[in-house]
Amino acid sequence: MNQDILLALAKLHHQGHEVTLARLKGAATGRHPMPALIQAIKAYQADPQAVLAQLPLPETPPSPAPQQEDRLAQLERQVALLSARLEALEAKLR
């Protein structure tokens, strides 16, 4: 089944709308032949969970690389140092 049609079916399902040809056609972003839409509706009506299970799982973002963690720690130390220096300068001005 076309990915766009699957996404449109999932959208309608999660919004709690009844899946009709007009709604599916309106929710789909691309142009699709009528037989493909009708086939998708029939499959959805027969077993909605099986159709929705065909959707790909959302990708999990990669964990930060060790280099990024080191860079983050370095920047945090630099911010702390600069904040301390700023406070010292402000104290001198008072």
Closest CA to 6 of 41, 34, 33: 41
Domain boundary assignment for the chain: 3-52, 61-94
Contact 9, 43 (CB under 8 A): no
Q: pLDDT digits over 48-78, tens only?
A: 999 989 887 666 666 666 788 888 999 999 9
CA distance 44 to 62: 33
For residues 36 and 68, which has the higher predicted lDDT (pLDDT)?
36
Instruction: Report residue 9 as tokens.
Output: 């079916």
φ/ψ region of 41 (left if φ > 0, alpha if ψ in -120 to 50, else beta) reads alpha
Q: Which helix (H) or strand (E) holds 17?
A: none
